Amino acid sequence: MWVDNQYSWLDSVRYGVGYLIAPARQTAVIPLSVAEWMSENATLRRELLKENKVLSARNLVLERKAQRMASLEAENMSLRELLSASDQIDDKVLVTSVTAVDPDPYTQQILIDKGGSDGVFVGQPVLDAYGLLGQVIDVLPFSSRVLMIADSNHAVPVQVNRNGVRAIATGTGALNELELIYVPNTADIKVGDMLVSSGLGGRYPKGYPVATVSSIRNTPGESFATVTAEPTAKLDRSRHLLLVFTDEAGRVPPEQLWRDEE
């Protein structure tokens, strides 16, 4: 050590020894390097997992918002169609919404959010944006029950819009089918004919779309044809409806009514 400190004779020896101890030094630091590498990867993995959870949650929120926007867009379109339909009705109307559907498979009834306090009355016609949907059969202060035209206990007088031929359209219990009863085999009715309310009986005003003839079957030996029609109203999907007021309109606050401006 004294010679190495005083003279430079051993520099070459120390330099050579460096070759010998370098592998040992590198081997000695391997555990520390491995520990640092594992720590960094563990930290990075935790951060990635945390970020992945945050992004997944954010993605779910965005998907929910997108679904809600689609629902709102569909609802706005439905309301625009409903308002367009109200512009074509000469009578006064009140907008209402469906709040419940009767779960009984043998009846076609719905519950709406307007009742006696809004001037609703038993027998009042109910429409959607596409045609006649049914009539009010029970009234409570803040809600009412509506019997739809597809119910097997319902019947509405109709006439063919093309030529005025009259018939009775009854419900079959199926939301997509009505049946015309007592139609002579010689009646001038064709597939595709539009059926509108005839106004007979005084229950429904005249001229509202009811259904479109979908099939006609003549059975040999029978006096009447079997005629089926598809309702124009969207009985299974309409959310917003119109309550029609004629001579009963005075019972409704004017600010709640949509009026034809013409």
170-180 tens-digit pLDDT: 999 999 999 99
Q: How far is CA 35 from CA 30, 106, 164, 260, in A?
A: 8, 73, 92, 81
Give the distance, in angstroms, between the CA of residue 226 and the centroid of all CA atoms in the same chain: 34
pLDDT classification of 130: cutoffs 50, 70, 90: confident
Residues 83 and 100 in one domain: no
Number of structural domains in the chain: 2
166, pLDDT greater than 60 = yes
Cα angle value 175/114/142 (rounded, 5°): 125
Most confident of the ranges 5-9, 76-80, 229-233: 229-233
Residues 60 and 118 in one domain: no
Residues 51 and 142 in one domain: no
Cα angle value 151/156/161 (rounded, 5°): 125
Of the residues 28, 63, 88, the one at which a domain ends = 88
Range of the domain at 157: 92-250
Of the residues 68, 88, 108, the one at which a domain ends = 88
Residues 213 and 118 in one domain: yes
Asked whether residue 259 is assigned to any structural domain, the reply reads: no
* 26-83 pLDDT per residue, tens: 676 677 666 666 767 777 777 888 887 777 767 766 665 665 565 566 666 666 666 6
Q: How far is CA 234 from CA 22, 148, 174, 241, 246, in A?
A: 86, 11, 12, 10, 23
Asked whether residue 193 is assigned to any structural domain, the reply reads: yes
Residues 51 and 176 in one domain: no
- Give the pLDDT of residue 255: 45
Asked whether residue 258 is assigned to any structural domain, the reply reads: no
Residues 213 and 228 in one domain: yes
Mean pLDDT, residues 215-225: 88
- Give the pLDDT of residue 24: 64
- Give the pLDDT of residue 146: 96
- Give the pLDDT of residue 4: 57
Asked whether residue 256 is assigned to any structural domain, the reply reads: no
Q: Please name the residues in contact with 235: beta carbons below 8 A apart, sequence gap of 6 or more.
A: 108, 133, 148, 149, 150, 175, 176
Of the residues 62, 88, 114, the one at which a domain ends = 88
Asked whether residue 262 is assigned to any structural domain, the reply reads: no
Strands 155-160 and 109-112: unpaired
Q: How far is CA 208 from CA 10, 125, 127, 142, in A?
A: 115, 10, 9, 27
- Give the pLDDT of residue 232: 92
pLDDT classification of 193: cutoffs 50, 70, 90: very high
Asked whether residue 26 is assigned to any structural domain, the reply reads: yes
Asked whether residue 224 is assigned to any structural domain, the reply reads: yes
Residues 97 and 110 in one domain: yes
Least confident of 122-136, 140-154, 241-255: 241-255
- Give the pLDDT of residue 262: 36
Residues 96 and 77 in one domain: no
- Give the pLDDT of residue 249: 37
Residues 110 and 69 in one domain: no
Mark residue 192 as left, alpha or beta (left: phi above 0; alpha: psi -120 to 50; beta: remaining): left
Asked whether residue 257 is assigned to any structural domain, the reply reads: no
Q: 246: domain CATH number?
A: 2.40.10.340
Q: Quick one: what percent of the chain has pLDDT higher than 90?
A: 40
Residues 47 and 21 in one domain: yes
- Give the pLDDT of residue 123: 92
Residues 67 and 136 in one domain: no
Q: Is the pTM of this model over 0.85?
A: no
Residues 232 and 139 in one domain: yes
